Structure 1
Amino acid sequence: MQSTITGELTNAEDVLTILNPRTGEPVGSLSVAGTDDVAGAVAAARAAQPGWAATPPGERGKLLREAARALDTAAAGLAELNAQETGRPLDEALAGIAAGVSTLEQYAELGPVHRGHSLRGNALAADYTVAEPRGVAVLLTPWNDPVAVACGLIGAALVTGNSAIHKPSERCPHLGKLLGEVVAPVFPPNVLVTLTGGADVGTLLTQQPDVDMFAHVGSSATGDRIARAAVLTGAYVIRENGGNDPLVVDADVDPGWAAEQAAIGAFSNSGQICTSVERIYVHRSIAEPFCHALAGQARDRNTEHPLAPLVDTRMRDTVHRHVAEALQLGARAIEGGTVPVGPGAFYPATVLVDCADTMDVMAEETFGPVAPVRVVDSFEEGLALAAAGRYGLAATVLTGSIAHAQQAVAALPVGTVKVNEVFGGAPGGAAQPRGESGHGFGYGPELLDEFTRVKVVHIAAPPAREAAPPAHETDGAAS
């Protein structure tokens, strides 16, 4: 079986056609995997998995390092496809691929030392745990950082002895296909298989009884469908899904610096990051200079350093619908807020003030370069509003008060709390999203635990055998 399965071209409904979001021109078309392709991929991965699981962990790690080198060699071509399909600037695409290389190398090191635990029991017995692969893992990855995210899941899945079926986002299928062609040949046949397609292919995968787990990074709606389907098949599910991450700005911080942090959080990658700042609560005492500085940050991005486009016009329509609804309900745009004329899927950095929490731009994941602001009268009010909502991915607090920082850590029901820096953090900082943002660890050493299940072993010595009587005693008894 090929490492990448795209099916056969049959009719228009079976083809993914991608348009360049900068120009609106076609990037290309790919056929999608059909029902037989999906079933065949699962069967092939199932057949390959026992042999891969029996491969020594050190050898699996060695092959993962080879995959990292292959990825590094192919970085230029992958970055170019990333830029063409998603509009991501070439330097950022290259940075994402470099992150993918580093992630594969990280799991190549962590995998062979992933270990169980000894358990305290009888002094004359041995009790310990063994981590075993779950089996066949389906990896469903997004378009906004496609190589880095895919490498994290692929690395953790393979180094722990699972076989993997990777379905990249239908918004970057050429990139996903090429990634499979670069990485999969390093491993034994069918240990890693790539399937191209849209939601129909994902649905077919959730119906396969021989899939043991799903790892999904993407929208909350899709993650919820996967989790519901897995109830019927018994597959294990981890997912990092949408967010509506708040930023709370305290009264005692410099408003210009706070505006810079807000702009980084709201406008980086054109707002297309799971942990983007999606709603802002600023203390009334610094609200005016903060909003003025934030509008300036947005204006600079709209004139001096224009943002990259959104991934496609469908995404832009969603973003603008949220903005237009907010404006209709009483919000004001002090920068941006209009769809630009011309080709592509561009949207300006936008700052909205006088926002209410009932507006979609505050309550939902907008996933675009929009910074909606609500003024609050106290840090406690901002914190309470930030803690409300269905999502639980991450949150940021800007404050000079250690007491307020500690309050935020205790009160915010999210997987990651960031204090005084919207992005950053140490390597391996895995977190568990909550609510509609997902379930399970998505990164770091803990991801190896997600891709394995634990077996407890208890070994005790058998009782000593009774000694046989001496031979002369036996002879005497007989006489």
Structure 2
Amino acid sequence: MTIQDTRDDASLITVLDPRDGSLVGRLEPATREEVAAAVRASRAAQPGWEDVSPEQRGRMLSAAANALRDHLDELAELNVRETGKPIDDARGGVEAGANTLAQYAELGPLQRGHSLRGGRLASDYTVVEPRGLAVVLTPWNDPVAVAAGLLGAALVTGNTVIHKPSERCPHLGARLGEILAEVFPADVLITLIGAGETGELLTHEPDVDVVAHVGSSATGERIARTAALTRAHVIRENGGNDPLVIDNDVDPRWAAAQAALGSFANAGQICTSVERIYVHRDIADEFRDALVAEARERNEQRLIGPLVDHRMRDEVYAQVSDAIASGATALCGGEVPDGPGAWYPATVLWDCTPDMTIMTEETFGPVAPVQVVDDFDEGLRLAADGRYGLAATVLTNRIDHANRAVAALRVGTVKVNGVFGGAPGGAAQPRRDSGDGFGYGPELLDEFTQVKVVHIGVGEPREARS
């Protein structure tokens, strides 16, 4: 968990282990002068980095992937201590980050322009060029994997990068920056530690060409408004309120296992976690009993890690309490446990209604709020409502229902019969308050580059003089 220190040096970022409240450490945030100096250094390094061949940049990215693998245990342990992420998940995040760097090492040199058809004696084509200086602001819930994707795509396309990791895992972010920076020339990748103030200073810098942000919708909206004045290109994946619609022709126990996975994985602290559930009345009773059993098993065997800090737990508990006060029933969990740390149990809420905050806003905790619906149409209509547009899941054996869901749900990703998963190389554009642009996949390379059209015509030679 992360707090501001209460001593005289209150500006320090102090991190406590969310498992037991013990001190992880304290770090100084970057000053205004350090932010400005980083921008100057990164800007100065960019032309030289752009001159490095794409093939050579790709080789450096491959070396960065190997460096992550060499430090896997160290980075995973820091992740566990700062965010409470289970060790296997933390290791998986570092491995995913290394694999992503390796993928962009291969994809980056293959990004190319196109030949165009002009006059027979002319040459017409396009070239891709880096945008310049990229600011990358990354979250705490999967810090290495998310950072690796954005950093890899930005660097391999010739941009220099200033990375500000989340203040909730600053030691991990600083160490990640040290490991990666050793692979690249000086000032190509700079890491700055800080909280929201540091990020705000960076996004207001007029020499920043692109800002990539993964985090809350409120912060993303402020970044977008600032970029309208600085003219920086913005890539953002922000909050979600992802629905799960359950048809009456699926096995209710299987549906409950899917709902539990989507709601409780990483203690519900995943951008695409299941945030609201609409189950058909025909199977509601069996689904309810199976979902409660899934939640109780996770609580009894302590299969869920803590939330990242007390502030996050307070926000989750407030939403749960508000739902109960408004008529929902907590069939499992719902209370803050005694003892140190930021633990919160897997919670099942029944009889939820569309006006409850827990059904309209992102919760980011291990909560499965359920509303029973009379038919698939009602569930689909409710799922399509709201201000977010990140992802949605439908469980059904009817292809017409699946096709209707794909057409009706205004989100970046629609998943049918699986709350997680998908083929490699997929990339989605979040909608509405969930963000803008491609945040991953091959298309992320396009976000960090610009296209230039070139036309080479035939000149008129000067007449020879006698």
Normalising to structure 1: TM-score of the pair? 0.95
Question: Are 2:111 and 1:114 aligned?
Answer: yes
Specify every segment of 5 or more residues in structure 1 that has no aligned partner in the other structure, as ranges: 1-9, 472-479
Q: Which residue of 1 aligns with 2:97?
A: 100
Q: CA deviation at 1:464?
A: 6.1
Distance 1:193 1:54 in 2: 19
Q: Which residue of 1 aligns with 2:144?
A: 147
Residue correspondence of structure 1 range 137-216 to structure 2 within 5 A: 137-216=134-213
Match of 1:134 among 124, 131, 135: 131
Q: CA deviation at 1:120?
A: 2.4
Question: Are 2:461 and 1:437 aligned?
Answer: no
Q: Which residue of 2 aligns with 1:303?
A: 300
For residues 56-101 of structure 1, give each alpha carbon's deviation from its aligned partner in whole angstroms, at most 9, with x where no partner exists. Answer: 0000000011111111111111111000000001111010000000
Q: CA deviation at 1:331?
A: 0.2
Name the SS of the counterpart of 1:252 in structure 2: coil
Q: CA deviation at 1:141?
A: 0.1
Question: Are 2:13 and 1:12 aligned?
Answer: no
The one-letter code sitting in structure 1 at the alignment partner of 2:98 is V
Q: CA deviation at 1:434?
A: 0.3
Name the SS of the counterpart of 1:277 in structure 2: coil
Distance 1:164 1:384 in 2: 42
Match of 2:355 among 354, 358, 362: 358
Q: Which residue of 1 aligns with 2:383?
A: 386
For residues 284-322 of structure 1, give each alpha carbon's deviation from its aligned partner in whole angstroms, at most 9, with x where no partner exists. Answer: 101110111101100100102431000001000000000
Question: Are 2:323 and 1:326 aligned?
Answer: yes
Match of 2:243 among 223, 243, 246: 246
Name the SS of the counterpart of 1:51 in structure 2: helix
Distance 2:25 2:307 in 1: 18
Distance 1:416 1:82 in 2: 28
Q: CA deviation at 1:54?
A: 0.5
Distance 1:11 1:162 in 2: 39
For residues 412-468 of structure 1, give each alpha carbon's deviation from its aligned partner in whole angstroms, at most 9, with x where no partner exists. Answer: 000000000000101121100000000000000000000001111111222466688
- Pairwise CA RMSD: 1.2
Distance 2:353 2:306 in 1: 27
Question: Are 2:74 and 1:77 aligned?
Answer: yes
Name the SS of the counterpart of 1:59 in structure 2: helix
Q: Which residue of 1 aligns with 2:393?
A: 396
Q: Which residue of 2 aligns with 1:3?
A: none
Residue correspondence of structure 1 range 238-317 to structure 2 within 5 A: 238-317=235-314
Distance 1:347 1:80 in 2: 21
Specify every segment of 5 or more residues in structure 2 that has no aligned partner in the other structure, as ranges: 1-6
Question: Are 2:432 and 1:448 aligned?
Answer: no
Name the SS of the counterpart of 1:443 in structure 2: coil
For residues 212-260 of structure 1, give each alpha carbon's deviation from its aligned partner in whole angstroms, at most 9, with x where no partner exists. Answer: 1100000101101111111111111010000000000001101000000
Distance 1:289 1:320 in 2: 27
Q: Which residue of 2 aligns with 1:61?
A: 58
Name the SS of the counterpart of 2:182 in structure 1: helix
Name the SS of the counterpart of 2:424 in structure 1: coil
Distance 1:13 1:136 in 2: 31
C-alpha spacing 1:193/1:285, structure 2 compared with 1 (3 Å): same
Distance 2:221 2:294 in 1: 36
The one-letter code sitting in structure 2 at the alignment partner of 1:405 is A
Distance 1:21 1:357 in 2: 32
For residues 336-386 of structure 1, give each alpha carbon's deviation from its aligned partner in whole angstroms, at most 9, with x where no partner exists. Answer: 111111110000000001001111110000000000000111111111110
The one-letter code sitting in structure 2 at the alignment partner of 1:342 is G
For residues 100-140 of structure 1, give each alpha carbon's deviation from its aligned partner in whole angstroms, at most 9, with x where no partner exists. Answer: 00000000000001011222222322211111000000000
Distance 2:39 2:410 in 1: 37
Q: Which residue of 2 aligns with 1:86?
A: 83
Distance 1:255 1:217 in 2: 34
The one-letter code sitting in structure 2 at the alignment partner of 1:404 is H
The one-letter code sitting in structure 2 at the alignment partner of 1:115 is R
Distance 1:35 1:356 in 2: 46
- Share of identical aligned residues, percent? 66
Larger radius of gyration: 1
- Work out the number of aligned pairs and report it: 460
The one-letter code sitting in structure 2 at the alignment partner of 1:323 is V
Distance 1:199 1:419 in 2: 37
For residues 190-212 of structure 1, give each alpha carbon's deviation from its aligned partner in whole angstroms, at most 9, with x where no partner exists. Answer: 00000001001011111111111
Q: Which residue of 2 aligns with 1:32?
A: 29
Q: CA deviation at 1:14?
A: 2.2
For residues 159-216 of structure 1, give each alpha carbon's deviation from its aligned partner in whole angstroms, at most 9, with x where no partner exists. Answer: 0000000000000000000000100111000000000010010111111111111000
The one-letter code sitting in structure 1 at the alignment partner of 2:363 is T
The one-letter code sitting in structure 2 at the alignment partner of 1:393 is L
Question: Are 2:425 and 1:428 aligned?
Answer: yes
Distance 2:371 2:119 in 1: 61
Question: Are 2:28 and 1:22 aligned?
Answer: no
Q: Which residue of 2 aligns with 1:47?
A: 44
Distance 1:412 1:466 in 2: 66
Name the SS of the counterpart of 1:37 in structure 2: helix
